[in-house]
Amino acid sequence: MPRRLVLLAACALALAGCAATPRATVGEDTRLTIFAAASLQGAFEEIADLFEEEHPGVAVDAIRYDGSSTLATQLIEGAAADVFASADEPNMQKVVDAGLAAPATVFATNTLTVVVPAGNPAGVTGLPDFARADPVIVQCAHEVPCGAAADRLLAGAGITAAVDSYEQNVTAVLTKVAAGEADAGLVYVTDAAGRGDIDTVATAGVDAVVNRYPIAALSGASEPDDAAAFVAFVRGPAGQRVLAARGFGAP
Amino acid sequence: MTRADRGFVPQVLLAPAVLGLALLVVPLAALVGRVRWDTLWQDVTSPAALEALALSMRTGLVATALCILLGVPLALLIARAGNRTAAVLRALVTVPLVLPPMVGGVALLFLFGRSGWLGPALTEVGIRIPFTTTAVVLAQTFVALPFLVLALEASLRSTGVGYEQAAASLGAGRWRILTRVTLPLAAPGLVAGVVLCFARAVGEFGATALFAGNAPGVTQTMPLAIYTAFNGAGVSQGTAVALSLLLLVTAVAVLLLVRAWRPGAAR
């Protein structure tokens, strides 16, 4: 049975290969897996690059961006990651309560703003227009931090918004406004900054609702030291400089 | 039953077969295992859940009706076309089937959206489709139609035109042949197609999320409600599980109903 012999030989070779390949040795990259709220995308890409420059031998894998509650659910259901940065404290708390993260620290704050497609086709001038039936209004779902913040902002202003769609994360809100499919949406000021396809409408009272962003190294981290180093880096001067440049508030 | 009646399948294949069956059944059992029975009734009868279920059933039924209206003629066209034409048409119908529904949602948005091909003209006459219940039905029809067309077409093709020719030679008109000969002969395919079509419409998520959005009572169908509740993590995840169970039970009920009614089945 020559075919079986060949198969056996192949298996033996494969096993030998595995044994001979060491896991991350000195000089070889250790890899960090980071879960971050969708609104952190621009800032964290930049911070990750700076972090890699300062820590040769550590590579940050493609960062997973999504709604904080989606990420929290994934972590609680067993997703493997080293660092979690949430857009609000309740979702971080869920992960801490599940015993998956050390107590988190707040590293940035954010506020909301009204955005409209470039040129403001529906003539939206502020939150009161959200109660009108005709413009298409989108905001984040209540379960997502930007949605919870939007609810608080609208409630504080005493406005019952005629919302046409509750999107799953802030990026989806931005996309629908930027594409002109929605006339107005509520997103973070940091999302609206520096985009040509949307305009920001000065919104009164937004400072009353502040989202605090916590970050934590996860207890299941495969590289605990590097995870802690990344958290420190985000909170340190370099990380804070990047965040401030993108419109985030200091913790 | 003798040995020969059971055919000559290699016995080793039993292992992967059982594994495959387990892969299909065990996850659903795990889902049922997660159900919190103490709050189940409260979860499935919450206004949000009932609203989502009602919307799913309503849009699913309208989409299925639309699929029958458009799909039966399309299946007839393909089944009675020449081989090469039929192959091309069948390929066109299959594309949405193999496409991720998300892509379908983007495509629908680019057709009916404000900046899409038809959007500006529709806006002119005061019609807005994205973020409405109409968008849900369109998204469901888009993803479900191929199921009905392909199932019925296969059935029509396999029955052939022999009986139709006999009926015609006896003087029956085209409509009479269609309703008394062709469709009754293809009934098993039609029923299977309609059931698949309805199930697919009710389960539709990706295209709906992108094209119709997520607003309770307007576009938030069961799958979207489940996704939103699941994202809530913690407490409201019970709602996601309860809603999933409700959808599972509905699906099984539909299947049983069809089995009972299906002509000549009742195995």
Identify the pLDDT of residue B193.
Answer: 92
Q: Domain count of chain B?
A: 1
Identify the pLDDT of residue A177.
Answer: 93
A141 touching B, CB under 8 A?
yes
In a domain? residue B124? yes
Residue of A nearest to B219 (CA): A165
Q: What percentage of chain A exceeds 70 in pLDDT?
A: 89
Taking an 8 Å cut-off on Cβ atoms, the answer to whether B113 and A144 are in contact is no
In a domain? residue B32? no
A65 in a known ligand binding site: no
Identify the pLDDT of residue B222.
Answer: 92
Q: How far is B14 from chain A (nearest CA, A)?
A: 22
Residue of B nearest to A77 (CA): B233
Nearest Cα neighbor of A150 from A203, A199, A106 is: A203
In a domain? residue B258? no
In a domain? residue B257? no
Q: How far is A143 from chain B (nearest CA, A)?
A: 5
Identify the pLDDT of residue B59.
Answer: 97
Sign of CA dihedral A37, B234, A162, B210: positive
In a domain? residue B77? yes
Q: Which residues does chain A have within 8 Å of residue B128's beta carbon, measured at their own beta carbons?
A: 136
Q: Which residues does chain A have within 8 Å of residue B220's beta carbon, measured at their own beta carbons?
A: 166
Domains and CATH numbers, chain A: 27-108+211-245 (3.40.190.10), 110-210 (3.40.190.10)
* pLDDT digit string, tens, across residues B146-184: 999 999 999 999 988 999 999 999 999 999 999 999 999
- Angle of the A68-76 helix axis to the B222-231 helix axis, nearest 10: 80
Identify the pLDDT of residue A1.
Answer: 41
* Whether residue B124 has pLDDT greater than 50: yes
Confidence of residue B226 (pLDDT cuts 50, 70, 90): confident
* pLDDT digit string, tens, across residues A80-105: 899 999 999 999 999 999 999 988 99
* pLDDT digit string, tens, across residues A170-184: 888 998 999 888 999
Distance CA A149, CA A110 (A): 10
A166 in a known ligand binding site: no
* Cα-based angle B69, B74, B77 (whole degrees, multiple of 5): 135
Contact B141, B66 (CB under 8 A): yes
In a domain? residue B228? no
Distance CA A238, CA A182 (A): 36
B228 touching A, CB under 8 A?
yes
Confidence of residue B265 (pLDDT cuts 50, 70, 90): very low
In a domain? residue B6? no
Q: Which of B110, B230, B231 is most worth mutating to test chain A (most A CB atoms within 10 A of its CB)?
A: B231
Taking an 8 Å cut-off on Cβ atoms, the answer to whether A138 and B228 are in contact is no
Residue of A nearest to B119 (CA): A181
A26-30, B123-127, B208-212: the lowest-pLDDT one: A26-30
AA letter at B246: L
Taking an 8 Å cut-off on Cβ atoms, the answer to whether B215 and A166 are in contact is yes
Long-range contacts of A124-130 (CB under 8 A, 24+ apart): A124/A183, A124/A184, A124/A201, A125/A201, A126/A201, A126/A202, A126/A203, A126/A204, A127/A153, A127/A154, A127/A157, A127/A159, A127/A203, A127/A204, A127/A205, A128/A157, A128/A159, A129/A184, A130/A154, A130/A159, A130/A161, A130/A162, A130/A163, A130/A184
In a domain? residue B11? no
Residue of A nearest to B232 (CA): A143
Identify the pLDDT of residue B95.
Answer: 93
Helix, strand or coil for residue A163?
A: strand
A72 touching B, CB under 8 A?
yes
Kind plus residue range of the DSSP H or E element containing A217: strand A210-217
What b-and-e string marks burial along A89-118, b requiring 16 or more CB atoms within 10 Å of the CB?
bbbbbbbbeeebbeebeebbebbbbbbbbe
What is the domain-level CATH number for residue B153? 1.10.3720.10
Distance CA B172, CA B77 (A): 20
Secondary structure (DSSP) of chain B:
--TGGG----GGGHHHHHHHHHHHHHHHHHHHHH--HHHHHHHHTSHHHHHHHHHHHHHHHHHHHHHHHHHHHHHHHHHTS-HHHHHHHHHHHHHHHHS-HHHHHHHHHHHHSTTSSSHHHHHHTT---TTSHHHHHHHHHHHHHHHHHHHHHHHHHHH-SHHHHHHHHTT--HHHHIIIIIHHHTHHHHHHHHHHHHHHHHH--HHHHHHT---TTTT--HHHHHHHHHHT-GGGHHHHHHHHHHHHHHHHHHHHHHHHHSTT---
ipTM: 0.73
Residue B82, domain extent: 58-215
Distance CA B116, CA B124 (A): 13
Contact A177, A42 (CB under 8 A): no
The phi and psi torsions of A110 (rounded to 5 degrees) equal -150, 150
Identify the pLDDT of residue B262.
Answer: 59
A89 touching B, CB under 8 A?
no
* pLDDT digit string, tens, across residues A115-169: 999 999 999 998 999 999 889 999 999 888 889 999 999 999 999 999 999 998 8
When CB atoms are compared, the residue of A166, A179, A181 closest to B214 is A166
Judged by CB atoms within 8 Å, which residues 181-220 of B form the interface with A? 209, 212-216, 218-220
